[in-house]
Amino acid sequence: MPIQQSIPATLIPGDGIGPEIVDATLKVLDALGAPFQWDQRVAGLEGVKTAADPLPPDTIASIRRTRLALKGPLETPSGGGYRSSNVRLREEFKLFANLRPARTLIPGGRFDNIDLVVVRENLEGLYIGHEHYIQIDADPHAVAMATGVNTRQGSRRLLEFAFDHAVATGRKKVAIVHKANIMKALTGIFLETGLELYERKYRGKFALDTVIIDACAMKLVLNPWQFDVLVTTNLFGDILSDLVAGLVGGLGMTPGANIGLDAAIFEAVHGSAPDIAGKGIANPTAILLAAAMMLEHCKLPELAVRLREALHQTLNIDNIRTGDLGGRASSAEFTNALVGRIANA
Ligand code: NAD
C-alpha cells in the first residue's frame, strides 16, 4: 500500500460542546487512519478568554498555511462590539460557497429517503451589512434601510461551483432559487447568470430548473423528493438550508462546508449548545458528517464512505443514540461504539 502523506489542517475545538464533539471526531478519524496533522487553535469565546480576540491572528495564520480547517461551534461574545468570528472567517478566506447536504440518516422520520444539497452564496446579497436608519422628527430609527449587492462575478463563481459539484457527484437536477419577479436586479442577476452559464457550459450534463423562493419553500415541504441540488443567494440559502435540515431531523444531523479559492472550513451546522455543555451528552454526528465532507475534499472518499457506514450501523443497527435522538448513550458511549464498528469493519 502506498504511504499516505500527512495533511496539515487547522483544528478549532470551539465553545460549549465544541471540545466534546471535536474530541469524539478525533477519536473516530484516528480509528479510520485519516492522515491529518492537526494544528490546534482557538477562536470565539475561547479566543477572547485566552487571546483577547475572537479570531486571533495566529488562528488566521494557521488556516492561511493549511488552507483547511475543522471547526467546532463558536460563540460571539455579546457586548464589546465583537463581530461574528464565523462571518469574519468567511470574509477573510473568501469562502464564497456554503455547501449543506441533507441526507436521511435515521429512517422512519416524517420525511424518509431525503438526499438534497443546498449550495448557498456566502459573501454577497443582503448579508453584506450595509444597513442604516433615517431619523424622522424625534425617532432616530423611523426608517430602516439595507442594501443588497450581488455581482455577476460572485454569482458566476458560486453557480459554477454548484454546477461542477452536481456533475462531480452525479446529480441529475439543479434548481436555481430566486425572487427575480420582485427583486429584479438583485436576484435577477443571479438567475440570468445561471441560465447563461448552463446554456454555455452545462446543458446535457443535468436538468436545470428555476423556482421562486416562496414556492420552493412550499414544494420542499409538500414533496422534497422532486429536488436534488438547490443553488441560491445568501439570505434565501440561509433559510432554505435550515428548512432542509428540518427534513432530516434537525440541525444536530447536518454538516456544512464553507469553501473558497484560498481555504475550506468544515463544521457542524448547530451551535455551541451551552445548555448541555460539559455534561457529556452532546451528539457528535453533525461534526462527524462534516469530517466526512472534509475527507472527500482531501480526495479520501473511501474513508468518508467508511465513516458514514459506521455511523449508519451504530445508529440504526446497534441502536446506540444520544438523548437528542431519543437514545440513552453518552457522547463517549456513542463514540466508542462507532470506533468499534470502524475497527471491526
Ligand atoms: P444551538 O444549535 O447551540 O442549540 C439549539 C438546541 O439544540 C439546544 O437545545 C442544544 O442543546 C441542542 N443541540 C445543538 N447541538 C446539539 C448536539 N450536537 N447534540 C445535542 N443537542 C444539540 O443554538 P443556540 O442555542 O441558538 O446557539 C448557541 C450559541 O452557538 C450562540 O452563541 C450562537 O451564536 C452559536 N452558534 C454558532 C454556530 C457556528 O459556530 N457555526 C452556529 C449556530 C449558533
Atom of ligand 1 nearest to the CA of 284: 18
DSSP state, residue 267: E
- Does the beta carbon of 150 sit less than 6 angstroms from any atom of ligand 1? no
Q: Whose CA is nearest to atom 11 of ligand 1?
A: 273
Task: Find where cell 432542509 sits.
Answer: 244
Residue type at 84 in one-letter notation: S
Residues composing the chain: 345
Residue 2: its pLDDT value, please?
Answer: 55
Q: What secondary structure letter does DSSP report for 227?
A: -
Task: Say if ligand 1 is within 6 A of residue 270 CB.
Answer: yes
The structure's pTM equals 0.94
Instruction: Give the model's pLDDT for residue 334.
Output: 98
Instruction: Looking at the CA of residue 282, tell me the nearest atom of ligand 1.
Output: 19
- In this structure, the residue with its CA closest to atom 30 of ligand 1 is 271
Q: Residue 90's pLDDT is what? A: 92
Does ligand 1 have an atom closer than 6 angstroms to the CB of 42?
Answer: no
- Regarding the beta carbon of 22 and ligand 1, being less than 6 Å apart is answered no
Cα distance between residue 311 and residue 98, in whole Å? 23
Ligand 1 pocket, residue 238 CB under 6 Å: no
Ligand 1 neighbourhood includes 245 CB (under 6 angstroms): no
Burial of 193 (0-12, 13-18, 19+ CB in 10 A): buried
Q: Tell me the CB-side half-sphere exposure of residue 9, using CA atoms within 13 A.
A: 24
DSSP string, 142-166: EEEEEEEE--HHHHHHHHHHHHHHH
Mutating to test ligand 1, I would choose from 25, 238, 242, 272 the residue with most ligand atoms within 8 A of its C-beta, which is 272
CA of 238 to the centre of ligand 1 (A): 16
Q: 280: CA distance to ligand 1 center in Å?
A: 15
State in Å: Cα 249 to ligand 1 middle.
Answer: 15
**Residue whose CA lies nearest to ligand 1 atom number 31:** 75
pLDDT of residue 145: 96
The residue whose grid cell reads 478568554 is 49
pLDDT tens for the 345 residues of the chain, in order: 555 789 999 999 999 999 999 999 999 999 999 999 999 999 999 999 999 999 999 999 999 999 999 999 999 877 777 888 998 999 999 999 999 999 999 998 899 999 999 999 999 999 888 899 999 999 999 999 999 999 999 999 999 999 999 999 999 999 999 999 999 999 999 999 999 999 999 999 999 999 999 999 999 999 999 999 999 999 999 999 999 999 998 878 899 999 998 899 999 999 999 999 999 999 999 999 999 999 999 999 999 999 999 999 999 999 999 999 999 999 999 999 999 999 988
CA distance 224 to 245: 12
Q: With contact defined as beta carbons under 8 Å apart, do 43 and 86 qualify?
A: no
For ligand 1, is residue 275 a contact (CB within 6 Å)? yes
Helices (H), the chain: 18-32, 44-51, 57-66, 85-92, 152-168, 188-197, 213-222, 234-247, 285-297, 301-312, 331-343
Q: Which atom of ligand 1 is nearest to the CA of 250?
A: 7
Confidence (pLDDT) at 345: 81
Q: Which atom of ligand 1 is nearest to the CA of 268?
A: 41
